[in-house]
Amino acid sequence: MAVTPQAVSSEAWSRRRVEELAERCRRWGQWGADDQLGALNFIDPAAVARAAALVQDGRVISCALPLDGNGPQNGSYGRTNPIHHMVQDGGDILFGAQDHLPGLRYTDDTIAMPLQCATHWDAFSHIFYDGHMYNGYGLHEVSSSGARRCGVEQTSASLTGRGVLLDIARHRGVDSLAPGEAIDGAELADCAQRQGVAVGRGDILLVRTGFLGASRARGWGDYAGGDAPGLSLDSAEFVFEREVAAVATDTWGVEVRPNQTAELFQPLHLVLLVNAGVMLGEMFDLDRLADDCAQDGRYEFLLAAAPLPFTGAVGAPMNPIAVK
C-alpha cells in the first residue's frame, strides 16, 4: 500500500517555533559541562554487545560513496569531488626514479578533498546557532587551526552499534521520494512498525529516501545543495524521545529542502546537532542495504561507522559497514 507524500509548507514553522522545539530537545549539560559526545553517550558497552549479537550470516554491506571524481559535488558551498594524484607510479619505476633503492619498488598517492564531499558525519562543531554549538560551546572554540571542542576525532570510537534502517521509499511504494517531500515522526514510527523493528536508545538510525540512487542514475544534477526530500522538523521529537544516538540519510543535508521555514537555514540541524547532540550523517548509499533488508526481513544490524579521526575537523568521511 502506497503512502501519500507529505507536502512541505514554507509558512508552517516560524523561527520562534523552531527555537521552542530546540529548547525542548536540548541536552546541554546532561553529561556534564565538558561533554563532547552528546547522544553518542547512549552507545554504551552493553549497547555495542547487543548490536554485535545481531550478526547472523556475516554479510558485510558498505554504505559509502566511492571517493573519486564521479561524485555528486558541483561546487556548491565550495565543495568539490575528491582529486586523486599519484606521487609515484609505474612510469617512475620504469624510468629509473627509484633505482637508488635495492630491489624493492613502490607506488604512492595522495588525495585532496573537502571532508564533507561524500559519505560523512557532521561533527557538533560544524553548526552554530546564536554563537553556540552543542553543549553551549562558543565560537572561539573553532579557529583557523580547527575545533578545540567537539572536533570529529572525539567521536571516532563512538559510532559502532545497532543500526536500524527505515526504508521510507519502499514504505511509500516508490523508487524515490521527490524534492520537497517531508518525512515526519509519525511516518517514521509507522514505517518501523510495518518493518517489524523498534527504534530505541543508542540506535544509529538510517533513513532511506531513494534520492541518492535516483540522482546518480540521472547524472547527479543539483543533488549536492539543491532541493531534496528529507526529515521534517516534526521528526525531531521522534529521534529525541527514543534517545537515538545518530541519524543518517541518503540525501545531501538530511532534512527536507526547501526548508520548512524561510526564517532559518537547515533548521533541523539547529535542533538535532546543536541542541539534542545527535550526530547527522549525509550521503549514505543505502540502496544495497535496503535490498538486503527487504529480502531477509531484518532491518537491524551491527553498524560500524566511525569517522576518520582528523584532529580538529568539523566533519569527516567514513566507510559505514553494516554486518548482518
Residue 41 CA to residue 183 CA, distance in Å, equals: 26
Residue 13 CA to residue 94 CA, distance in Å, equals: 64
The rounded mean pLDDT for the chain is 95
Nine-digit cell at 196?
517489524
Ranges of the chain whose pLDDT falls below 70: 1-11
Q: What is the pLDDT of residue 76?
A: 87
SS3 track for 176-234? CCCCCCEECHHHHHHHHHHHCCCCCCCCEEEEECCHHHHHHHCCCCCCCCCCECEECCC
Phi-psi region of 226 (alpha: psi -120 to 50; beta: other; left: phi over 0): beta
How does pLDDT run across 146-191, given as a tens digit for each residue? 999 999 999 999 999 999 999 999 999 999 999 999 999 999 999 9
How does pLDDT run across 25-64, given as a tens digit for each residue? 999 999 999 999 999 999 999 999 999 999 999 999 999 9
Distances (CA, A) of 122 to 8, 281, 283, 306: 25, 6, 11, 12
Task: Name the nearest CA neighbour of 162 among 239, 50, 41.
Answer: 50
Q: What is the pLDDT of residue 2?
A: 46
Nine-digit cell at 323?
554486518
122 phi/psi in degrees, rounded to 5:
-85, 125
Residue 141 CA to residue 262 CA, distance in Å, equals: 29
Residue 128 CA to residue 10 CA, distance in Å, equals: 22
Question: Contact at 8 Å (CB) between 94 and 145?
Answer: no
- Domain limits, the chain: 15-74+114-323, 83-112
Residue 145 CA to residue 127 CA, distance in Å, equals: 17
115 phi/psi in degrees, rounded to 5:
-70, -10
- Specify the pairing of strand 146-147 against strand 142-143: antiparallel
- pTM of the predicted model, to two decimals? 0.95
Q: What is the pLDDT of residue 208?
A: 98
- Cβ atoms within 10 Å, residue 171: 20
Q: What is the pLDDT of residue 12?
A: 77
In the CATH scheme, what architecture does the domain 15-74+114-323 have?
Answer: 3-Layer(bba) Sandwich (3.50)
Q: What is the pLDDT of residue 9?
A: 43
CA angle 190, 162, 276 (to 5 degrees): 70
Q: What is the pLDDT of residue 8?
A: 46
- Cβ atoms within 10 Å, residue 78: 8
